[in-house]
Amino acid sequence: MTDSAAVAPTEVPDELRWLRVARAAAFCSLSLFLIAVMVTAFLEARENGAKNLVFALFTASFWLPYLWMLWQMTARSGKRRKKGLALAIAYGAWALMIAAPSALASSGLALQGSFAIFALLQLSLILSAMKTYDAMEKEPGDTRILVNRILGVSTGLGILCLAAIHIPCMVRSKVAADEASSVNGIRTICTAQTSYAEKNPRKGFAAALSELGPPPGADLIDQQLASGARSGYTFHMMAARPDASGRIVQYTVVARPLTFGQTGTRSFFADASGVIRSTAEDRTPTAQDPALD
């Protein structure tokens, strides 16, 4: 008679059980982030072309840590695993602090749900990483590894947050300066046209910007403005047909951004009246647009 012995299932150690949860949370966080990046980049590509590449490179600093911690947590070395777990704790805490308020503040069920899922993944990542870290064999450098990761992540993300705040402000300041320069350029052209007409009563206004520029022009505007491009804007002047006596009595001048939305958000128009008008639409401004204050 053969004795049948019941084989007890092998129990998974706490360290490995929680490590698997941490790996799964890191992988899901990485996947969710990459899906969001790809969808956003695809939508941006429709309107902004190559700008989506810049967007993808900028967001790499946010999703690459998940790839790095996942790679570290799959290592055989206990020290490397701890480094990956320490990064998961530090980075997950930052991500949770951003995702949770975003889920509450976002408009739209889809966006709220995405942020909520991401926040839950970060919570799971933090807890499982802490459990794994605590269950692993203690070594003298454990505290230093954790502190270094927390300080490193805090410093790096702090710099990124400051850059995210200041760079758009710098861009807006540059755009405002370029717009002010273009308005000043139109005023200069209008003043130059008035002087040109007074000096050339038989001819009237100049027919082209080059006639107002340095010699052989009238030397009333600088070379850059006479070339039709300055401070992120292009300048085009069109003279009306001469009247019966051969004089040009009307003209229009238009200033448009080289790249609408980047070098400027408004286009400007003026004519012989000297009144400058503007539009915030991506089109050529006309005499029907509102005058500047």
**Backbone phi, psi, residue 181, to 5°:** -65, -40
Q: Which of 161, 30, 143, 157 is nearest to 91 (CA)?
A: 157
- Cβ contact 118:95 at 8 Å: yes
**Does some domain include residue 28?**
yes
What angle (nearest 5°) sits at the alpha carbon of residue 129, between those of residues 87 and 142?
Answer: 65
Report residue 225's pLDDT band, with 50, 70 and 90 as the boundaries: very high
Number of domains comprising the chain = 2
Pair (24, 96) in one structural domain: yes
| Domain stops at, among 84, 111, 139 | 139
Pair (219, 268) in one structural domain: yes
Q: How far apart are the first and last CA of the chain?
A: 105
Q: pLDDT > 70: what percent of the chain?
A: 79
- Cβ contact 269:253 at 8 Å: yes
**Does some domain include residue 44?**
yes
Across 8-40, b (16+ Cβ under 10 Å) vs e yields eeeeeeebeebbebbbebbbbbbebbeeebeee
Q: Distance from CA of residue 8 to its chain's centroid?
A: 57
Residue 190 has pLDDT above 80, yes or no: yes
Of the candidate ranges 51-55, 58-62, 188-192, 231-235, the one whose mean pLDDT is the lowest? 51-55
The whole domain housing 120 covers 14-139
pTM value is 0.52
Pair (216, 266) in one structural domain: yes
